[in-house]
Structures are given as C-alpha cells and as structure tokens.
Amino acid sequence: MILLSISTTGLADGSLAHFHDALGRHGVFRKDDADLVLYLEQGNLKDPALRTEESLVLTKEQLLQMVEDLKDLRPAVMNSSEQFPLTISGSSNGTGATLTLAVDRKSFGNLCHAVNDVRRFLRDFN
C-alpha cells in the first residue's frame, strides 16, 4: 500500500480566504510571490470590463493591526444595525496606501473568519 500526502496552501482557486463587506464588495486574500495581498473587487464579477479591483500588500504586522481593529470594532458592530468603516493600511505600488471596508453585523463574522484563516496559513506555512 502506498500512502500519498497532499498539503494544500489555501483554497482550490489559489486564494487564502474570501469575504464580502457590507457594501457587497468581494475581498480575496492571496499569497502572491512573497507578499500577502488583499484584493477588493466590486461591480460585475463575471464581466472584467464591468469590474474594478483595488489591491493592498500587507505585512504580518499590518494583518495583526487589522485583527486588533476588528476587536475594537466588535462591540459597536454587534450593538448596531449600522455600517462602520474599517481602514486597512498597507502598500500599493511601493507606497503607503489604505483600503476602507464597510463592516456591519452580517459581514463582520465573515471578515473575521477570513482574517483568521489567513493568520492560520501564515503561522502554518511560514
């Protein structure tokens, strides 16, 4: 008998995690080359001509800051039906940049799961 062990480094599409923010924008965390990249897509995801995409390169420290910001935001989100901004710092084209997500009660858990999946990946595979 031959045993074959296959280790995956993310999801089937090569990404680490997906989420949607309160505005319906699709977020994807990927490991591109040596960088952790957050892609934020909006518009018609099936038609590239109608889709816009922003990206932000994140360090481990910036991802950990995102975790802390989510922890700070949790009480307000859980006690309200409103949307709250979550600004993420990183870099784009080699310069400092930010992306702002809209977070509400429904999207909060989805985003937290995605961030935790990325943290787990970084811990296990780096």
C-beta separation of 54 from 77 below 8 A: no
pTM > 0.75: yes or no: yes
Please report whether residue 7 resides in a domain: no
In this prediction, residue 126 carries a pLDDT of: 57
Count of domains for the chain: 1
pLDDT, tens digit (0-9, with 9 covering 90-100), for 33-43: 888 999 998 87
Residue 55 sits in which domain range? 15-125
Please report whether residue 3 resides in a domain: no
In this prediction, residue 6 carries a pLDDT of: 32
- Average pLDDT (22-45) is 87
Kindly compute the dihedral angle of the four CA atoms of residues 114, 33, 96, 61, in this order, to the nearest 10 degrees.
Answer: 50
In this prediction, residue 9 carries a pLDDT of: 46
In this prediction, residue 97 carries a pLDDT of: 92
pLDDT, tens digit (0-9, with 9 covering 90-100), for 75-112: 999 999 999 999 999 999 889 999 999 999 999 999 99
- Average pLDDT (56-73) is 94
Strand order through the sheet with 84-92: 15-20, 26-32, 35-43, 51-58, 84-92, 95-103
Q: Residues of the chain with pLDDT > 70: what percent? A: 83
Rounded CA-CA distance 59/125 in Å is 15
Please report whether residue 114 resides in a domain: yes
Please report whether residue 89 resides in a domain: yes
Judged on CB neighbours under 10 Å (0-12, 13-18, 19+), 53 is middle
Rounded CA-CA distance 64/59 in Å is 9
